[in-house]
Amino acid sequence: MATLTINSPSVSTQFGTFSATILMEASSSSTTTMNLLSMPSIKQDFDVQDTAKDLSTFRYNLSTITLAMFDDLADGTKMFTAINNLGTNDVIRIKITTNIFDNTNRTDFFVATRADCKYDRVKRTITIDARAALRYDVEVTSFSTTGLVTTGSGGESADAGLITSKDAILAFLKSQGDSSIVTKIIGHKFTHTLSDLGDLTIGFKTIGLDANTYYNTYAKAQTHVLKFGIIEGAFLGAMLGFSFYVRRNFNSTSDSDHYADISASDLREFGIKFDIRNIKQFDTNFQIQDNGVSGAPDIGTSVTETVNSRGSQDIDLAVGIDDMNTLFNDPNDAVPYKTKLLSAGSLSDSAISTSTFTDASTGISTNARASYKKSLGIGTNNLDNDNRFLIDFEILGVDTLRPYQFINFASNIHPSVNGKKARPSYLEYDLENNIIKGEAYLI
């Protein structure tokens, strides 16, 4: 099929440069240019989708863009005509390039259909509402585990085809953009990567997969990573050249890249929106299957909690990750001990121990429940002051806060947030006005 390529000029702004390319199917291939009506807004809603009450149908929102341009194209044709000639299911592909952060060009991809386009006859403009191109319900051809899976050769001291859970997440995140994508994994419980395997002493354990069987397609990667995110209370996103997996209540300031300091001088607007959910029951059942343990059991924790006996809404989240294995260094191999999949172990041999899910400081279940409570506004009898409101804000400068960072408030804003930390549940980067609009909850 022939392709019509429509480029915008590179626009210089306060924060750097911006350019966009639109690709559409056409009767013959050609290239032309367009003039943008204004700079776009790019946004993503990270909030938990609980409108159906039962979070078992949990989904993640993806970033979206609103792009507006004039109808007239440089070659004398019309954008309206090009869109009108598309079939109902034909995809409009949009590529944007920005250098908002670190003066580095980074690329995002979005898709739309004819139904996402609007024409204004008076202004002679076209507006396209598009969403992140690499959606979770399509096969992504760029997915690859190259460099993240053991080869079993070259002195690697590991069986072939192993991938750790962290590297599995990394492979998925890398597929969310081109080679310029920057990946961030923050708050994931199992921290070991390929570089750790075979180099640690006997007794080393982490969670991984037989990649050649259970992680060799994008669809399989999608299933595992989305479930990991749910049982860890993490959100996933791809925005402004970053692809990220972040636990919702992560608030450590040990790494300055994980947060942005925001003071009164950074804020264009600030307000409080009271957002108390009247939760009655909050139940979770998080499990990970260990194929290496006899019977391949689902190991994890189920917690039932009555938040408010007079509440009007129940939240019930039951998720399990299949086909995982304990990775361990086999003491029967010569030093350095070879890393293998646990294949005939007992429950006590599993890296997924009960304490992994329930330990007060690091357990998956404990952290996940705390994470959801923060993001859903669930406190003790709904009276936890820090969970009773959302923060509305507008921050000056789109380079002030990165989409995976939390906010570290200064002490000169308002008593409700002074010296506290907040995680955005919604972000909108308004490139036209060089501001970030958003909502956040305290963490």
Q: CA torsion angle for 188, 191, 195, 198 (degrees, to 10)?
A: -140
Q: Quick check: is 18 in a domain?
A: yes
Q: Provide the token pair at 263.
A: 């003071």
Q: How many CB atoms lie within 10 A of CB 253?
A: 11
pLDDT class of 179 with cuts at 50, 70, 90: confident
Asked if the bond preceding 336 is cis, omega within 30° of 0, the reply is yes
The count of structural domains within the chain is 1
Order of strands across the sheet with 242-247?
182-186, 242-247, 234-239
Q: Looking at residues 154-161, what average pLDDT do you find?
A: 81
Q: Quick check: is 237 in a domain?
A: no
Average pLDDT, the chain: 88
- For 360-411, what is each residue's pLDDT tens digit? 778 999 999 988 888 877 765 444 555 678 899 999 999 999 999 999 999 9
Q: Looking at residues 302-314, what average pLDDT do you find?
A: 87
Q: Quick check: is 421 in a domain?
A: no
Q: Quick check: is 382 in a domain?
A: no
Residue 383 is predicted with a pLDDT of 46
Q: Quick check: is 39 in a domain?
A: yes
Q: Quick check: is 37 in a domain?
A: yes
Distances (CA, A) of 106 to 16, 155, 319, 351, 427: 12, 36, 34, 38, 18
Range of the domain at 88: 2-132
DSSP string, 345-387: B-GGG-SS-HHHHH-TTT-HHHHHHHHHHHHHT--GGG--GGG
Percent of the chain at pLDDT > 90 equals 63
Residue 221 is predicted with a pLDDT of 92
Q: Quick check: is 88 in a domain?
A: yes
Residue 202 is predicted with a pLDDT of 72
Give, as one character, the DSSP assignment of residue 121.
Answer: T
Q: How far apart (Å, rounded) are the C-alpha atoms in residues 401 and 315? A: 31
- For 341-366, what is each residue's pLDDT tens digit? 998 889 989 999 888 888 877 899 99
Tokens 């480029």, located at residue: 7
Q: Looking at residues 113-126, what average pLDDT do you find?
A: 95
Nearest to 88 by CA among 67, 62, 128, 117: 117
Whole-structure pTM value: 0.90
Q: Quick check: is 69 in a domain?
A: yes
Confidence check: pLDDT of 438 > 70: yes
